A = this chain, B = another copy of it.
Amino acid sequence: MANYKVTFNHKAEPVVVKSGTLITEAARLAGIEINQPCGGQGRCGRCVVQVTEGKVRQRSTLRLSSEDIGLGYCLACQSVIEGDLSVLVPEQEKVERRLVTDRTAVEVEPLPGYSPEYHQSLRRYFLDIAQPNYEDQTDDLSRLQKHLRVALGFEQVEIPVTLIKKISSAFREGNWQVTVYLDISSGEDGISLIRLVDIVPHHCENDNPIWGAAIDIGTTTVTLWLVDLWTGFVHAQVSEYNAQIRRGEDVISRIIYADKEGGLQELQQLIVGTINQLVELACKRVKDYTVTPEQILKVTVAANTTMMHLFLGVPPSYIRLAPFIPTFNQAPLVRAQEIGLHVNPNAIVDCLPGVASYVGADITAGVLSAGVDDTDKLTLFLDVGTNGEMVLGSKEWLVTCACSAGPAFEGAGVRDGMRATTGAIEEVWIHSETYEPTYRVIGGGKPHGICGSGLISLLAELFMTGVIDKAGNLNTSLSTPRIREGEHGMEYVVAWGKETVHGRDIAITRVDIDNLLRAKAAIYAGFIVLAQSVGVPLEETEQVLIGGSFGKYLNIEKSIQIGLLPDLPWEKFNFLGNTAVKGAYFALLSQENRERIREIASKMTYIELSADNTFYEAFMSAMFLPHTDINRFPSVMEAIQSVKVPIQS
């Protein structure tokens, strides 16, 4: 085995290592400490180094942008040395700044015409307080209240004890000039109060930022945008896995865990801990200002109903029990310290309103940011994840439902399924004559399994090439070694063991196919029920807006081929990314948008599918590829005819 020389930070003396050594290992030999908080698993991105000369094989490029990769950055713990190298180890501070944790970071335009004085509910005022003396011994709190009443016209201002503690020293340190922050929004409980959020000595500069955060708590991923409420500009976008994952992959298993002794408290601490990490990270990311978590004065939260319950520490027990009643859809405003959030302790935490146990604030926020409630077009809005939540409507009306699609599209319940990370097959093509597959792997290396988009792609190709029939049965008469009897019945081999990371064959089984059929049938049946409930043919849908991080990896053509999405012209589909955090951001910035979400939540009609007879019928009809009623999928019918594969029964 060859030996290679590795030079660190332009030192004279290189270290000599064997081929296949990791950069972290070589660094240790060279006496250089490389931080590996995740233990060298390639998850945290903190061990990033820059290879200025030579080549490495990167097992994973998770958390690196394409720009980073172009500049030679790689994860030291994931980079195998395959030649002489020259490596620069950046200062940790710089690593933190450049780290791109959020692969879903998007360009956000501040709201057009945004004016903090007009739109923002978090207000900043500079006060000149009349100094006390022996003739006017009014206490400091009354002095502040009087000023707020007389100078600003605010009659009832809630001033919590933790802020009363700060008043006297702020007055005197600022020589009777103070800056106060007030929130004038009213909570979901209809309690309209002005709330004092902070008081600090002196007047600050008028154009100083006022920091706020928009958060989407997903079952899998939590996303946070750090926003200057004064300009509306998003200064950092970060996301991280929800630390609750280790206590269950989906909402149902989390609810069950929460019912255990101490489980609820643990899950709350895990999600709050994840958010606290993101807050710290986001603060470090801001380039133009030094921001501390204590400066964040307002937080707006979108989440599905179960996540919102867990975030506030409210038992979600009854969400999973018929008739599926959540404890709340609209939470009152809370102060950050009440739930242990490490921003300003008195920061206002605004939990956006949901509609039902399985249609939460992530959907109402998504409807807002997608503009479904503001369009004349008949719109189908869709957030595909573990649950498929969907909304049909326009500015006239909105109906919604959630179908328990199961986690198949997230890679669970499928033998070789996995999440959409490095090593996942994300796209498959099958040759229509040899039945040999070609595939693309996330990260470019050997495959480890198949992620959701890969499964949709695979299922579509299997069907379009006649490897499986409309019921999902494998065609055993085809002459290819890839169709075989496996341990769990018939299966199709996508990658032979010699091609894979683990040396085992990657295949899709008949059981997997059934699970995928059920998942896609549930979603399509949801569309049908929504359309029927309002008496509108699904085909009349004028646009389909797809939110959620999974959404953006969906291949429209193949999703239609398997009957997951309705057969509409492709240009009617639009991927919007994380519509939930964007909606939270809109609501964080503008009272009008916040009010719109309230209206969306109250006007949306929720259809409980488990109580709906039409759903089961629609579901059974959709258990075929693409559907029992092929006329619903004219483009697929045409495509099948063009590849000249007979539709088997």
Q: Contact check, A140 vs B328: say whether CB atoms are below 8 A apart.
A: yes
Q: Is A386 an interface residue (CB 8 A)?
A: no
**Selected contact of A606 from candidates B137, B317, B606, CB within 8 Å:** B137
A620 to B636, CA, bound (A): 107
| A329:B139 contact, CB within 8 angstroms | yes
Please determine whether A191 and B329 come into contact, CB atoms closer than 8 angstroms: no
- The segment from A319-327, A410-418, A438-446, A641-649 found at the interface with B is A319-327
Q: For the complex, is A246 an interface residue (Cβ under 8 Å from B)?
A: no
Q: How large is the interface on A (under 10, 10 to 19, 20 to 34, 35 or more residues)?
A: 35 or more
In the complex, whether A193 has a CB less than 8 A from a CB of chain B is yes
- Please tell me if the beta carbons of B323 and A155 are within 8 angstroms of each other in the complex: no
Partner of A328, one of B134, B164, B193, B317: B164
Q: Are A137 and B324 in contact (CB under 8 A)?
A: yes
In the bound complex, how far is the Cα of B484 from the Cα of A233, in angstroms? 85
The answer to whether the Cβ of A487 comes within 8 Å of any Cβ in the partner chain is: no
Q: CB of A86 within 8 A of chain B?
A: no
A338 cross-chain contacts in B, Cβ below 8 A: 160-161
**Most chain B CB inside 10 Å of its own CB: which residue of A169, A192, A610:** A169
CB nearest to A326 among chain B residues: B139
- Which one of A4-12, A21-29, A285-293, A307-315 is at the interface? A307-315
Contact, CB under 8 Å: A323 / B158: no
Contact with B along A345-389 (1 / 0, CB 8 A): 000000000001100000000000000000000000000000000
A330 is an interface residue with CB less than 8 A from chain B: yes
Indicate if the CB atoms of A161 and B329 lie closer than 8 Å. Answer: no
Chain B residue numbers with a CB within 8 Å of A327 are 139-141, 164-165, 167-168
Contacting residues of chain A (157-191) with chain B, CB-CB under 8 angstroms: 157-161, 164-165, 167-169, 172, 189-191
A133's contact among B158, B164, B323, B339, by CB below 8 Å, is which?
Answer: B323
Q: Does A608 contact B (CB under 8 A)?
A: yes
Chain B contacts of A160 at CB under 8 A?
Answer: 332, 338
Residue of B nearest to A186 (CB): B156
Q: Which residue of B lies closest to A169 (CB)?
A: B315
A334 near B: Cβ within 8 Å?
yes
Judging by beta carbons under 8 Å apart, are B332 and A608 in contact? no
Residues of B within 8 A of A331 (CB): 141, 161, 164
Chain multiplicity (copies): 2
- For residue A156, which residues in chain B have a CB less than 8 angstroms away from its CB? 189-192
Q: Which residues of B contact A145 (CB under 8 A)?
A: 189
Q: Check: A2 CB closer than 8 A to any chain B CB.
A: no
Q: Whole-angstrom distance between the alpha carbons of A159 and B193 in the complex?
A: 14
Interface flag for A150 (CB, 8 Å) = no
Contact A332 B161 (CB under 8 A): yes
Contact indicator B140/A326 (Cβ below 8 Å): yes
Within the complex, the shortest CB–CB distance from A402 to chain B, in Å, comes to 12
Q: Does chain B have a CB within 8 A of A66?
A: no
Q: Does A537 contact B (CB under 8 A)?
A: no
Inside 8 A of A169's CB, which chain B residues have their CB? 315, 317
Min Cβ gap A385→B in Å is 22
Closest B-chain residue to A149, C-beta based?
B190
Interface residues of A (CB under 8 A from B): 132-134, 137-142, 145, 155-161, 164-165, 167-169, 172, 189-193, 312-315, 317-318, 322-332, 334, 338-339, 356-357, 606, 608, 610-611
The answer to whether B161 and A323 touch across the interface, beta carbons within 8 angstroms, is no
A330–B158 CA distance with the chains assembled, in angstroms:
13
In the assembled complex, the CB of A312 is this many whole angstroms from the nearest CB of chain B, namely 5
Residues on B with beta carbons closer than 8 Å to the beta carbon of A332: 158-161, 164
Do B161 and A318 touch across chains, with their CB atoms under 8 A apart?
Answer: no
Residue pair A314, B142 in contact (C-beta under 8 Å): no
Known A-B contacts A315-B165, A339-B161, A356-B137; A329 and B189 likewise in contact (beta carbons under 8 Å): no
CA distance A328 to B325 in the complex (A): 44
A608 CB contacts on chain B under 8 angstroms: 134, 137
Please list the 8 inter-chain residue pairs (A to B) with the smallest Cβ-Cβ separation, ordered nearest first. A134-B611, A141-B328, A168-B327, A139-B329, A139-B326, A156-B191, A132-B325, A140-B327
- Residues in B with CB closer than 8 Å to A339 are 161
Closest residue on chain B to residue A140 by CB atoms: B327
Q: 5 more A-B contacts (CB under 8 A) besides A165-B313, A165-B314, A169-B317?
A: A132-B325, A134-B611, A137-B324, A142-B330, A161-B312
Shortest distance from the beta carbon of A309 to any chain B beta carbon, whole Å: 9
22 of the cross-chain contacts (CB-CB < 8 Å) are A132-B325, A134-B323, A134-B608, A134-B611, A139-B325, A139-B330, A140-B318, A140-B326, A141-B329, A141-B331, A142-B329, A145-B189, A158-B191, A159-B189, A161-B314, A164-B328, A164-B331, A164-B332, A165-B327, A168-B317, A168-B318, A168-B325
Q: Could you say which residues of chain B place their CB within 8 Å of the CB of A190? A: 155-156
Residues of B within 8 A of A133 (CB): 323
A316 to chain B: closest residue by CB: B168
Q: Please tell me if the beta carbons of B157 and A189 are within 8 angstroms of each other in the complex.
A: yes
CB–CB A137/B168 < 8 A: no
Instruction: Write out the residue numbers on chain B whose beta carbons fall within 8 Å of the beta carbon of A137.
Output: 323-325, 356-357, 606, 608
In the bound complex, how far is the Cα of B124 from the Cα of A414, in angstroms? 55
Bound complex: CA A610 to CA B329 (Å): 58
CB-nearest residue of chain B relative to A321?
A: B172
What separation, in Å, do the CA atoms of A101 and B78 have in the docked complex?
Answer: 70
Q: How many angstroms from the CA of A189 to the CA of B167 in the assembled complex? A: 15
Give the docked Cα–Cα distance between A164 and B330 (Å): 11
CB distance from A292 to the nearest CB of B (A): 22
A76 CB, nearest partner CB in chain B, Å: 43
Minimum CB–CB distance from A314 to chain B (whole Å) comes to: 5
